[in-house]
Amino acid sequence: MGEASPVGTVTHRGVVYPSELDHMGHMNVVGYAAKLDQATWSFFNDIGLTPSFLRSSGRAAAAVKYETVYERELLAGDVVTVRTRLTRLGRTSFAFRHEMWNGETGERVATADCTGVLIDRATRRPVPWPDDLAQRLRALIPG
């Protein structure tokens, strides 16, 4: 379950609030999703899918697959860190992995494997990555 060594860029740091708990006293699915969504937008910014690039290019990143695995429970007051890394780049698609870690225990508490597609906002159709961005993104893929 919990890996010992986090990999990837820090894309979110936060805390679990009582309002994010379920009826059993653990962070609920909505809480995980919100923190992972914030990590996604931070990651996009870090890799060049900045808000200004997306607006000026008429592009968007559309999610096509999102799989979350919950490994450990989080309680109110727990500090969490999300680390993210790019795992694959296709002609129009990309995949990345979020890993959420408990800041106190160092245990991995969740992973999310995500696949997205770069699309044209007007046509809602996939478009190829700009060459300069594709080259920069390929350099981020481990191995």
CB-based burial label for 25 (10 Å; 0-12, 13-18, 19+): exposed
At 7 the pLDDT is 79
Pick from 2-16, 73-87, 111-125: least confident: 2-16
CA 24 remoteness from chain centre: 26
Q: What is the pLDDT of residue 107?
A: 97
Joined together, the tokens standing for residue 10 give 């820090």
Looking at residue 3, its pLDDT comes to: 52
